[in-house]
Amino acid sequence: MKKPSITSLFAALLPFLAASAQAAVLFTDNFDVNSGSYTDNPGIGPNHEVANPGRQGGTLATPTLGYTFQGNAQVGNASTLAANSNAGSLLGDDMLLAFGASATINFNFAVVTSPLEISFDALPNNQADLTNWVSFMISENGGTQFVNHPSVDFGILFRANGGTQYFTDGANATDGAAGASVGQNVWEDYRIVLSDAAGTGSAFGTGSSRLDYYKNGSLLGSLAISDPFTANQGYFAFGGGGLAGVDNIRISSIPEPTGAMLLTGTLGLLALRRRRA
């Protein structure tokens, strides 16, 4: 019986080593409203659901991470936004951000020493004005603010007409890459990856910061942050320009794929040795 080669043994192990480099989920929030609370008792108000711990997950969700809110931010409003068809959510199972409202997660994600991926469903606009938007912001504190406030170290907004715009230190508004128009009252999938310039380390306190942003799985653009983030600037926030919604927030760390890269290199060397032999 022919013995398996070293190369074939390494190849068999590749899926297992690659799996070890998968993203680690740090925090999720699906904003699903508890049955028997706001939906059945609207008199208590939608903000009753803002701090509901049952909907959060991830390694940082215990104890529950709260939010700091500015303006008209609600969870459980079943009468304003369309249901999130991307996730099969019911009416009200989302966070409504109305007319400049924002919500900041009360945690400094800069303590994570690897690249970070932030994904979320968003409805940029529930009105006829397709220039309305939903924003993602990075700042040095857990306070709340508008996307162009000086305390916001970086902010990017996604418009319903497909356009993007970003701000550094509350100024230098620049048009980013544009995608297809979303239209009115439509949920889309957005994703942001934060890393150092090389794309392998943390964006915070490493001397360089990079941001890649996606919509519906397609890369829209990449930015080299002109004022790199420090170790104090890892607070993430979401905002709305008109009537906007956010759902299914997911923040994950992305480990360097060292195991898979090492294995790939080893396989290549073994194959070269075999050819030379």
Q: What is the pLDDT of residues 179-237, one digit of tens each?
A: 999 999 999 999 999 999 999 999 999 999 999 999 999 999 999 999 999 999 999 99
Looking at the domain assignment, is residue 223 inside a domain?
yes
Q: For residue 236, tell me if it sits in a domain.
A: yes
pLDDT digits (tens, 9 = 90+) for 18-54: 333 568 999 999 988 865 666 566 666 666 666 665 7
Assigned domain for 191 exists: yes
Higher pLDDT, 170 or 162: 162
Alpha carbons 209 and 197: distance in angstroms, whole number: 6
pLDDT, tens digit, 9 for 90 and up, residues 69-115: 889 988 888 889 999 987 778 888 899 999 999 999 989 999 999 99
Please report whether residue 40 resides in a domain: yes
Q: Is residue 11 part of a domain?
A: no
The CATH number of the domain holding residue 240 is 2.60.120.560
Region 258-270: what's the mean pLDDT? 44
Say how many domains are in the chain: 1
| 6 domain-assigned | no
257, 263, 269, 270: CA torsion to nearest 10: -170
Identify whether 3 is part of a domain.
no
Inside any domain, residue 17: no
Say yes or no to pLDDT of 10 above 50.
no
pLDDT band at 15; cut points 50, 70, 90: very low
Task: Look up the domain containing 144 and give its range.
Answer: 27-255
